[in-house]
Amino acid sequence: MPVEPLAPKEIEERLAELPGWSADGGLLGRSYRLASHFAATAMVVHIAQVQEELDHHSDLTLGYNTVSVSVSTHSAGGALTVKDFELAGRIAALAPAHGAS
């Protein structure tokens, strides 16, 4: 079932609930800094588990002690949808358990 793109005002409202996240074009993104490479890798694994649960997958970039997340909905033409914000919210909720800032 197709997911409708969000209107710019709704994107703005949803971003206000996700500190540190930004929207640029059709991408929702955030980078996290962690204490170590091991902590960053563990966070990537946990993000992957959430993605599988939601059946919605983002692009992840793992650095030495950083994790960058980039989310969009390809089936909506790369526009931002409710699915993107649901995934971002779940990622934001698990970040503190990994000591992410």
Does 79 map to a domain?
yes
Does 16 map to a domain?
no
What strands, in cross-sheet order, belong to the sheet with 27-33?
22-24, 27-33, 66-71, 59-62
Q: Give pLDDT, residue 1.
A: 57
Does 59 map to a domain?
yes
Tokens of 74: 């390809």
Does 26 map to a domain?
no
Tally of domains in the chain: 1
Does 83 map to a domain?
yes
Does 80 map to a domain?
yes
Helices 37-54 and 82-94, axial angle in degrees (round to 10): 140
CATH number at residue 64: 3.30.1360.20
The residue segments making up the domain with residue 77 are 32-98
> Which residues in the chain come in under a pLDDT of 70?
1-2
Q: Give pLDDT, residue 94.
A: 95
| Main-chain phi, psi angles of 91, to 5 degrees | -65, -45
Q: State how far the alpha carbon of 97 is from the alpha carbons of 12, 15, 38, in Å.
A: 27, 21, 14
Q: Give pLDDT, residue 3.
A: 81
